[in-house]
Amino acid sequence: MIDPIEKLKKYNQNHIIEMIKVFNDEEKNNIFEQVNRINLDEIDSLYMELSNKEKVLDSNIEEIVAVNKDKITLEEQKEINTLGENIIKNNQYALVTMSGGQGTRLGYDKAKGTFIVNIMPSPKSLFEILADKLKKVKDEFNVITPWYIMTSEENDKQIEDFFVENNYFNYPKEYIMFFKQDNLPMLTEDKKLIINKEKNIKEAASGNGSIFNAMYKNGVLTDMKKRGIKWIFISSIDNILLKIADPMLVGLAEKENVEIATKSILRNSPEEKVGAICKKDGKIYVIEYSEMSDEMKTAINENGEFKFGESHIMCNLFSLNALNELAQKKLPYHIAHKKSEYLNEKGELVIPQEPNAYKFETFIFDSWKYFDKIAILRGKREEDFAPIKNKEGVDSPSTAVDLYNKFYFKEEI
């Protein structure tokens, strides 16, 4: 292994070598452990991405058509459902929950999955809500669905401890597996690593697109193969109306003979901050809300619906073949310009008033471009989507709880 000091020199991070001269041995060792672990080779490619960032032009973008289950015959619905049910019943289906994110908008300082939601009949954590859904799948289909949970450097221990403290929510422990995603360093505008007030190199989870590589590196894909899994549903931690095993979605993927399927819901207003599923250069693509022009947000199609209204709600189904293929691919980085506290070269803490650092993330849906065809099933907001993103207002605990209680306890409200 290359000496950490040499590695820092090689990547022009000499300021760190200077700064740690006054650190004690433990602090120095922490920095060296990070330098050994962090892939500094990436730094140049991260920076390249900043200058390469292509503008998404409306002209490259086309509308897509989703399968709307209300618009297909009952017979076809039944056929698709049966295909999906057979996969679930035959132990060929697994759930992956991505919980490596920081949940900054919610302003909760622990792992988001440990957040307690005040649902009926009694408050539960986001993890427990999912565990309860898995138990329902067990009763309905008579199978124990393997549950893989993606964590990050920042919250891995917290999450595993939470499961131990809660006795794995009485779900069979041997069917629950944790795996850690990678971090990437944050960088200053002049390509330097940042030392934070804890005297660590500032790192952040590298986005949910790092899931493919993380599953491969941590043996998750091998485990899935061993268990005979064919379809893997990957979703976020924070949607309390998530259908964790929807036979319709699985059946549609089987019927359309694709490697990936996704569930959408229809945008409820031009201002709703969700990515839109569309076609870009002939491939299925998610255009981020911030990249959409006003014309795109408001355009209406011949059915009187938003033309770019199929929203991506982090309900993605992948075949094991697709995951194996994606583990070897590189996804583009999305860059956020953020405010990040740091220690200056004199060791003083600086709290910036303006963004001063870049955070780099890859997104799960950028993997779609490697596939020619993706099945899209339009779900229903009131049945499929109650996200907890913000502390208050839209997509907050209170809006999500309302939707949850309405769906599960209609008669009692």
**According to CB under 6 A, which one of 184, 205, 232, 375 is a site residue for ligand UTP?**
205
> Binding ligand UTP by CB under 6 A: which of 4, 103, 251, 397?
103
Half-sphere exposure of 279 (CA within 13 A, CB side): 14
285-324 positions binding ligand UTP, by CB under 6 A: 314
Least Å distance, CB 5 to ligand UTP, is: 30
- Is residue 156 a contact point for ligand UTP (CB under 6 A)? no
Among 207, 247, 275, 309, binds ligand UTP (CB under 6 A): 207
Report if residue 200 touches ligand UTP, rule: CB under 6 A.
no
Among 105, 255, 279, 338, binds ligand UTP (CB under 6 A): 105
> Cβ closer to ligand UTP: 100 or 251?
100
SS (H, E, C) the chain: CCCHHHHHHHCCCHHHHHHHHHCCHHHHHHHHHHHHHCCCCHHHHHHHHHHHCCCCCHHHEECCCCEEHHHCCHHHHHHHHHHHHHHHHCCCEEEEEECCCCCHHHCCCCCHHHCEECCCCCCEEHHHHHHHHHHHHHHHHCCCCCEEEEECCCCHHHHHHHHHHCHHHHCCHHHEEEEECCEEECEECCCCECECCCCCECEEECCHHHHHHHHHHCCHHHHHHHHCCCEEEEEECCECCCCCCCHHHHHHHHHHCCCEEEEEEECCCCCCCCCEEEEECCEEEEECHHHCCHHHHHCECCCCCECCCEEEEEEEEEEHHHHHHHCCCCCCCEEEEECCCEECCCCCEECCCCCCEEEEECCHHHHHHHCCCCEEEECCHHHHCCECCCCCCCCCHHHHHHHHHHHHCHHHC
The pairing of beta strand 342-343 with beta strand 231-236 = unpaired
Q: Does 191 bind ligand UTP (CB under 6 A)?
A: no
Closest to ligand UTP by CB, 19 vs 364, is: 364
Q: Which amino acid is at 202?
A: K
Pairing of strands 231-236, 93-98: parallel
Our finding on whether 155 is near ligand UTP (CB under 6 A) is no
* 203 interacts with ligand UTP by CB under 6 A: no
Kindly state whether residue 185 participates in binding ligand UTP, applying the rule CB under 6 A: no
Q: Which of 100, 47, 13, 108 is nearest to 357 (CA)?
A: 47
Interface residue with ligand UTP among 13, 92, 99, 367 (CB under 6 A) is 99
Interaction residues for ligand UTP, span 347-376 (CB under 6 A): none
- Give the residue with the Cβ less far from ligand UTP, 336 or 350: 336
- Its sign, for the CA torsion 311, 314, 320, 322, is positive
Told to check if 236 binds ligand UTP by CB under 6 A, we report yes
Q: Which is nearer to ligand UTP, 307 or 389 (CB)?
A: 389
Considering only 4, 84, 101, 397, the residue that binds ligand UTP (CB under 6 A) is: 101
From the list 21-29, 45-53, 79-87, 99-107, the region that binds ligand UTP by CB under 6 A is 99-107
* Span interacting with ligand UTP, options 36-44, 50-58, 88-96, 231-239, rule CB under 6 A: 231-239
How many residues bind ligand UTP, per CB under 6 A? Answer: 21
Please tell me whether residue 102 binds ligand UTP under the rule CB under 6 A: yes
Q: CA 195, CA 202: separation in Å to the nearest integer?
A: 6
Q: How far is the CB of 144 from ligand UTP (least distance, A)?
A: 23
Judged by CB under 6 A, the residue of 104, 222, 328, 344 near ligand UTP is 104
Please identify, among the stretches 96-104, 222-230, 258-266, 335-343, the one whose residues bind ligand UTP according to the rule CB under 6 A. Answer: 96-104
CA pair distance 260, 252, nearest whole angstrom: 10
Residue nearest to ligand UTP (CB): 101
Residue number with CB closer to ligand UTP (11 or 127): 127
Query: According to CB under 6 A, which residues from 31 to 90 bind ligand UTP?
Result: none
Q: Which of 4, 84, 100, 146 binds ligand UTP (CB under 6 A)?
A: 100
Selected from 208, 262, 311, 367, the binder of ligand UTP by CB under 6 A is: 208
| Binding mask of the shown chain, residues 246 to 285, with x at each position contacting ligand UTP by CB under 6 A | ----------------------------------------
Compute the C-alpha angle 244/289/108, nearest 5°: 60
Give the interface with ligand UTP as residue ranges (CB under 6 A): 98-105, 112, 150, 152, 181, 205-208, 236-238, 314, 389
